[in-house]
Amino acid sequence: MQSMGYRIVADENIQVTSALRSISDSLITLPGRDIAPAHLADADVLLVRSVTSVTEPLLAASQVTFVGSATAGVEHIDTEYLASRGIRFASAPGANANAVTEYVLSVLAARGRIAEVLQGGCLGIVGYGNVGRQLASTVVELGGAAVVWDPWQTVPPELSSPSLEFVLQQKIVTLHASLHEQSPWPSRAMVDTPLLENIPSGQLFINAARGELLTKAALDTLTARGSDIVLDVWPDEPAISASQLAAVSLGTPHIAGYTKCAKVAATNMLVHALNGTLAEADEADMGVQAPIDMTRHQAVSAATWLTQLLLTSYDPNVDTDALVKTCGTEVRGNDFDALRRDYALRRELRGRIVLMPTPHHAPLDRLVLALGATPSYAR
């Protein structure tokens, strides 16, 4: 591909792929929260993630003709203003769907809930976009069940919940809605205290979508009722109060979608939208995808073995420990952003080879295949 000569300003947390380099003679990366009008004086293209507010004050004096967001959500983008200026816009819906799905499954493994899923246990899923759809499908493939609330999407009858309240009464609840204020079902602050009156004891509550879906009062209610809370996103992100950090069993710095595959895919989706060329991830972008060696983990039970597989691929305890070690009991915004900036992108299970412990063990093979990986018995 020949260079198109685009002058690009990008959030430093966007993965710079070979496809992106090939279309730019000038690529400047900056902290997303610091991108200012002065940085865009000579830019044709602005590429952001979720922390840059793309509005008229940022772009009014620029000659930017294309804005891309390497995210699924677009609440940080004034799309009406872009349209009024004739500025093209693209986002990256679905790029991180598998990454977030695997994050949730690893959380279930870390919190000892995989057996519950394999025995037909039900996940309450709020949101049926790319992530919610893939998570529900994978859980069912693994032998579990799902019930979904999303009034904006067509949810299959076998998954559809009669109400948001019913979803929030499940023993495992995970949020995957986009953030918006569109009537008649705005999602901002959608999970509030009155909806949590009948939550079961021992509930596992996960938010890996947007911090503002859940009110602070609701978080306090969950804490008071003894829920097992896992947050990847936070109400006052990038700051995290001491009380919020103390309330969670696992807490990570908004990295549920931070895999090598997801980030490369998001960038290449924007490249495609910008110049119309489909970009495939190459070895230079992805590196070597080594097999996951599970040969030493014997199948005491399917649940135990799957737990070990998921935690071998990704253990959220590691990122929780890093957050606490770096930030202490209260997280400052600069520290939160630094953890995201310096995050060592993890690998996904999907598409990987899993070296199996027992020749042709059909139940384990089924679990590996449900995760989109390939079992292998080669020695």
> Which residues are annotated as catalytic?
210, 237, 254
CB atoms within 10 A of CB 272: 16
Nearest to 129 by CA among 93, 102, 101: 93
Is the CB of residue 79 less than 8 Å from the CB of residue 59?
Answer: no
The secondary structure element, H or E, covering residue 54 is none
Q: How far apart are CA 100 and CA 348, in angstroms?
A: 10
Residue-wise burial string across 277-289, b where 16 or more C-beta atoms lie within 10 A, e elsewhere: eebebeeebeeee
CB atoms within 10 A of CB 377: 13
Handedness of CA 190, 196, 199, 204 (dihedral sign): positive
Residue 325, Ramachandran bin (φ over 0: left; ψ between -120 and 50: alpha; else beta): alpha
3-state class (DSSP) for residue 191 = strand
Is the CB of residue 327 less than 8 Å from the CB of residue 265?
Answer: no
Residue 38: both structure tokens together: 């002065």
Is the CB of residue 155 less than 8 Å from the CB of residue 148?
Answer: yes
Distance between alpha carbon 88 and the CA centroid of its chain, in Å? 25
- The residue with tokens 């690009």 is 8
3-state class (DSSP) for residue 362 = helix
CB atoms within 10 A of CB 215: 17
Nearest to 80 by CA among 70, 93, 67: 67
The single-letter DSSP state of residue 210 is -
Backbone angles phi, psi at 298, to 5 degrees: -75, 150
**Residues 295, 296, 301: CA angle, nearest 5 degrees:** 90
